Amino acid sequence: MSGIFISFEGLEGAGKSTQHKKLCAYLEKKNIDFISSSEPGGTEIGRSLRNVLIDNRFNNMESLTEVFLFSASRYQHVCEVIKDALQKGYMVITDRYVDSTIAYQSYGRGLDINLIKYLNEIATDRIYPHITFLLDITPEKSIERLLNRVSLTHKKLDRIEEEKLEFFQRVREGYLFLAKAEVERFKVIDAREDVDTIHRKIIRHVGKVLKKSGNRS
């Protein structure tokens, strides 16, 4: 794999999508080849599975059912998009990846972390990000931003966004534990900072990786 793989992680409302878009715009301006994607989704099959996963009609979904659907979406994503792009030397940028499953389904739902790691190994074909940007935000602030978005867009919260505060507290704990366990891969950024400050920090880290790989930044 000759390309660089970057993932964005964090709670809802942390600003992942905003920073993802800003990084893509920066790379485009620099004429750096990249693929932009997201999970669950990234493929036609993945987007169909995503519609099931976030649908409020399925609030009775079992946690194991949920993790199997996420894993199925990820395997299709890896096979159809990520692996090929990395082999071609492209930079791959994804909004969420394996760490979301550990944080949400293991820490959040309480599923066995060894099961999650086993499923991740299969679903990823052992392809993991070179850098993971964790946009850290408190659960309270996450919920506040979600409710503000609802007020502005009149769009209802999805099945996962509707979870209780305690759920997101566990998810955040999971993310921070993962970040401490893999300090070289994770770059933890305070999501309370303004958008441009966060973007500059991300560009600085990406520039270092590009330089190390021999690509220009």
Q: CB–CB of 6/206 below 8 Å?
A: yes
Domain 5-213 falls under CATH 3.40.50.300: yes
Nearest to 49 by CA among 10, 76, 85: 76
* Residues 185-198 pLDDT 10s: 999 999 999 999 99
Segment 194-205 shows an average pLDDT of: 97
Residue 217 is predicted with a pLDDT of 46
| Portion of the chain with pLDDT greater than 90, in percent | 91
List strands edge to edge, sheet with 186-190: 34-38, 91-95, 5-9, 131-136, 186-190
Q: Where are the domains of the chain?
A: 5-213
Quick one: pLDDT at residue 1? Answer: 54
Cα-only R_g, the chain:
17
